[in-house]
Amino acid sequence: MEILDLNDEVKDTENKSSEDKDWEDVVDFGKEEQDEKKEGKKGKKSKKKEETSAVREIFSWIFTIAIAVVAAMVIKNYVIINANIPSGSMENTILPGDDIFGFRLAYTFSDPKRGDIVIFNAPDDPSEKYIKRVIGLPGETVTIEDAQVYINGEPLEEDYLKSATEEDEVWTTNAGPYEFKVPEDSYLLLGDNRNGSSDARVWEHTYVSKDAIIGKAILRYYPFNRFGVVK
C-alpha cells in the first residue's frame, strides 16, 4: 500500500499560494503605476486647460478694451463733440464753465435752422472753436437797428437774449445799424449776450459756411444743477 505524504502536499499548496500572492502583488503594483501615470497625465491636461483658459480670458479682456477704445474714438471724432465754455458770449443760455455735448451728425442730412446753437471753426482763426446762435440763413438780408434784428425787413423775436431775461441788461454795444446779405452757402451767427459777444458784427470774415460748422449743441451735462437740453 502506498502511503501519501500529506506534509508534502501541504507544503506544495503553501508554495503555490505564496507564488500566487507574489504574482498578485506584482500585478497590483503594475496597476498602481498605471493609475499614477494616468493621474499624472490627467493633472497635466488639467493644468494645460487652466493655462489655456487663462490665456483666453486675457485675450478676451484685451479685445474688449480695444473695442471700447476704438468705439470711444469713433464717437468722439465722428459723433459727439465735447465743449467747455470759457466765455460769457452766450449768457444767459450758456454760462462760463458749462460743459456741452454737441452732435456732429446733426447737419449730415439737413441744414442748420434759425435759432440753432452751433459749434464751429472760428472764421478769423479756424484753429479756434466758437459757439453761437444761427440768426441769418443763406440768401437772407439781416439788418440790426437800435438793438433790433430784422430778417428781410421783419423784426425777429429773441426771447433768449441776456437783455431780454434781465431787466437791468440793455443791448447797447454794437446795436446797429448793420446790414448783412448772407451768401447762399453761409450763415450769420450772433451770441446771446450781445453786449459781450465777438460775432458776425465784428469778425473780419463775417459769415460761417456749413462746412465750418462742427455740430449742433444739444446737451449741457455740467454743472449738474443746470443739466438739460440746450436751446
Q: Which residues are part of the catalytic machinery?
A: 89, 132
What is the Cα–Cα distance from 71 to 27, expressed in whole angstroms?
A: 65
Find the DSSP H helices in the chain: 6-74, 162-165
- The cell numbers describing 112, all together, are 442748420
What does the block give as the cell for 66?
480695444
The whole-angstrom separation of Cα 24 and Cα 84 is: 87
How far is residue 83's CA from residue 215's CA, in Å, rounded to a whole number? 11
Distance CA 217, CA 119 (A): 7
Please state, in angstroms and rounded to a whole number, the distance separating the CA atoms of residues 202 and 27.
104
Distance CA 217, CA 225 (A): 18
Quote the radius of gyration of the chain (alpha carbons, Å): 43
| Strand pairing category for 99-103 and 178-181 | unpaired
Cell of 166: 434781465
